[in-house]
Every structure is written in C-alpha cells, then in structure tokens.
Amino acid sequence: MTASTRAETLGPILEGSVPDPQAWELCVAPMIDVTDRHCRYFHRLLAPKARLYTEMITTGALLYGNVSRHLDFDESEHPVALQLGGSEPQDLAKAAKLGATWGYDEINLNCGCPSERVQKGAFGACLMAEPSLVADCIKAMQDAVDVPVTVKHRLGLDYDDSYDFVRDFVGHIHDTGCRVFIVHARNAVLKGLSPKDNREIPPLRYDMAARLVADFSDSVFVVNGGLVRVEQCEEALSTFHGVMLGRAAWHTPDVLADLSARLGHTEQRVNDREVLEAMIRYAAGQVEAGVALRHVIKAMLGWQTGRTGARRWRRMLSDAKALALNDPQLLAQAWAQLS
C-alpha cells in the first residue's frame, strides 16, 4: 500500500498538527541498554529514513549528570528523538530544552515502562493513572521547545481492559495539542510481572489501539508491540500511521533493511557489504576516541541471523579476548566466516 493510499484509508491529518505524519512511518523503539548512539548509527545504515529513539533518559541524569554522555549523537542519526523519563513538569521542561538545544528532532515522554525501578521514581507506565499530571508535563515541555512533544504509552494498567481508560488518557493529552501517540498495544502489569514478561504476557490488542485512530482522527498513531516480520508491519500500516519495532530491531536488525525497501524508503535494499564497511570506519573512529569496541558493535550480533555462518559471526563478535584487542577489523574477520 502506497503512502497516499494509506492516507486516504486512515483519513487526513489536520494541516499543521504535526510537521509530517509520514515521518513516523517506521520507528525503532527506545530500549534501555540497547539503543545507545552506536546502535542508532548502525540502525540508520540499515534504515535511512527510520525515526530513531534514544534509551529512556531520566530528568535527573540530564539535570545532574554528564549531559554530553547522554545526549551526544552522530548527525547521520536524524531524525532522532529523545525519550525522557520523569514526572515533574519543570524538570521535564528543562530536560526537553536541553534535548532541543542538542539538536533532537522530537521529545518523547515515557508513559509505558513497567519496571519497578521506574515505578519507584513515579514515572513510566504508572503515569497513566495520572493523566492530568501527564498533561501538565506535556504542556511544560511544549512551552520549552519548538520540536514535537510526543507520548509513548500502554493500553491500560494491570488487568483493566476497558477502552474508556486509554481513551480518556489520550484525550487528556490530546487537549494539550499533542498529536503524536506511540501505543504499545498491551497493558502494563505493575505488580508481579518483570519488564520481559510485560512484553510477552499481557495480550496484544491491536483492535483497541485502532479505535484510538478513529476517535482522534487528527492525530498520528504509531503501533508498537509484537511486530517482528515485514508482513506484520505492512498489515499494521493499513490501520496505523506508523509502526515501531523493538526487540525485532535488536535480535534481527536486518528486518529494518527489508522493511525500508518494501516501504520505498530506499530505491533498493541497502547493501550489506557497504553497511559492514561503514561500521568498520565508524568503529575505527570510536576506538580512536577511546570507546571500547564491544560497545560499538554489540548491536550487530543478530544482524546476520538466518545466513550460513551466523553462529560463527555472533561467536566471534562476542569473544572477550578478540574484543579486548579493540581492532575494528574483527568485523571483517567475522564477515569472512559467512557464506
């Protein structure tokens, strides 16, 4: 389905609501300890037009920590979004301003993470129980920056499956002028399930997420959760304005290249050899700057899944002795093991 056909199916977005609704067609989810700047650089090579998200970064880390360590990124990563974790409007406004000053294209508020650590900080998924507070947070950030301020959320909390809950939550945020919502199409169970379990056990309910598209027709909705194959994403795009891939982008990142080609983001599928050579050059620059090779290439472990020699590829790129040498040519040596 072409972008114009999908626009007719989904209905028009009000002019001026968002800069470009198609900018969210393909997104890579924010993942803690995964989507650092090296991972994002690699994903950009695979998907030239995908929207990339940072790991969730707390307001405290930005206001009292090493800002450059958290916010530095390569210019090639654009469009790139900063995801924030927090629940104090003024702190979020300051953190958002830092992100915009640093050059991020979007500021996203995390209202979906169910981990106990995040809950202790009174943010993440538990914020869905306080929509008025979330609205205050969004308004404070909107007042501080000129880039889009967006929200990533779940369908509900614990075992409350009512549509009214998520509709009212989105309604509160919509009233602030926010027009981009990333919906993980599962509930978040705050007690008794680990973050991993929360990605797998609560049932996916794409049909409920789709009701939001109909009820808030002037907004962009990106669906997240359970999307691992190109065909699934194409089907989802007949209902939603965008898809967000999480663990699939981590475990089998080549799906980003396949989907980018199918969506017409590239004239032809990216060349694996060119991606490899670009990563060798990038790794060389990072090692020269003092970054350990293991940090730079960890996102590449699952890249060649499905090819003959993929197990040797993973084994070589995770070998502690080889990584300790900090030689980017390790990538070329591992590539030579593939058929």
- What residues does each domain of the chain span? 3-262, 272-335
Instruction: Give the residue from 104, 114, 108 showing the smallest Cα distance to 37.
Output: 104
Amino acid residing at 112: G
Residue 4 has pLDDT above 80, yes or no: no
Mean pLDDT of 240-248: 97
Distances (CA, A) of 125 to 50, 61, 155, 181, 290: 25, 19, 10, 14, 36
Q: Is the peptide bond before 203 cis (omega within 30 degrees of 0)?
A: no
Residue 338 has pLDDT above 80, yes or no: yes
Residue 153: beta bridge partners? 111, 183
Q: What is the CATH number of domain 3-262?
A: 3.20.20.70
Residue 85 has pLDDT above 60, yes or no: yes
Q: Do domains 3-262 and 272-335 have the same CATH topology?
A: no
Mean pLDDT of 164-189: 97
Residues recorded for the chain? 339
Instruction: Give the residue from 263, 289, 222, 317 showing the smallest Cα distance to 46.
Output: 263
Total Cβ atoms within 10 A of residue 100: 19
| 3-state SS class at 136 | helix
First to last CA, the chain: 34
Residue 221 — φ and ψ, nearest 5°?
A: -120, 125
Topology (CATH) of 272-335: Four Helix Bundle (Hemerythrin (Met), subunit A) (1.20.120)
User: Among residues of the chain, what percentage have pLDDT more than 90?
Assistant: 85
Residue 97 has pLDDT above 90, yes or no: yes
pLDDT of residue 10: 62
Residues near 162 by beta carbon (within 8 Å), at least 6 away in sequence:
156
CA 83-84-86 angle, 5° bins = 155
pTM: 0.93
- Which position has the token pair 């979330």? 134
Given pLDDT bands bounded at 50, 70 and 90, which one contains residue 195? confident
Element (H, E) at 53: strand 51-58
Mean pLDDT of 35-55: 98
pLDDT of residue 90: 98
The yes-or-no answer on residue 113 being catalytic is: yes
Which is catalytic among the residues 27, 39, 113, 126? 113
Q: Mean pLDDT over all residues of the chain?
A: 93
pLDDT of residue 121: 57
